[in-house]
A = this chain, B = another copy of it.
Amino acid sequence: MEDIISLSYGNGGTKTDSLIKKYLLPNFGNNLLNVLGDGALLNTSNEIAFSTDSFVIYPMFFPGGDIGKLSVCGTVNDLLMCGSIPKYLSLSFIIEEGFLINDFEKIVKSVALTAKEAGVQIVTGDTKVVDKGHGHGIYINTSGIGERIKGINLGKHRINPGDKVIVTGNCGDHGISVLCAREKLFEENLKSDCNPLNNVIYEILKFGDNVKILRDPTRGGVATTLNEFTEDTEICIELDENKIPVDKSIGSACDLLGLDPLYSANEGKAIAIVSAEVCDNVIENLKKIDISKDAAVIGQVTSFMPGKVILNTPYGGRKILNKLSYDMLPRIC
Report A's interface with B, CB cutoff 8 A: 6-8, 10-17, 36-56, 77-79, 81-82, 84, 88, 90-94, 123-126, 128-131, 133-136, 139, 141, 143-146, 148, 215-216, 218-220, 224, 228, 231, 265, 322-331, 333
Contact = CB atoms under 8 A, between A and B. Distances in A.
Given A12-B220, A54-B92, A90-B143, 17 more contacts: A8-B330, A12-B224, A38-B215, A39-B82, A40-B50, A41-B49, A43-B46, A43-B47, A44-B46, A48-B48, A52-B91, A53-B92, A56-B94, A92-B141, A92-B143, A128-B333, A129-B330
Contacts of A77: 38
A53 B123 CA distance: 13
Contacts of A46: 43-46
Contacts of A47: 41-44
Contacts of A219: 10-13, 16
A81 B38 contact: yes
Contact of A90 (B42, B52, B133, B231): B52
A56 B141 CA distance: 13
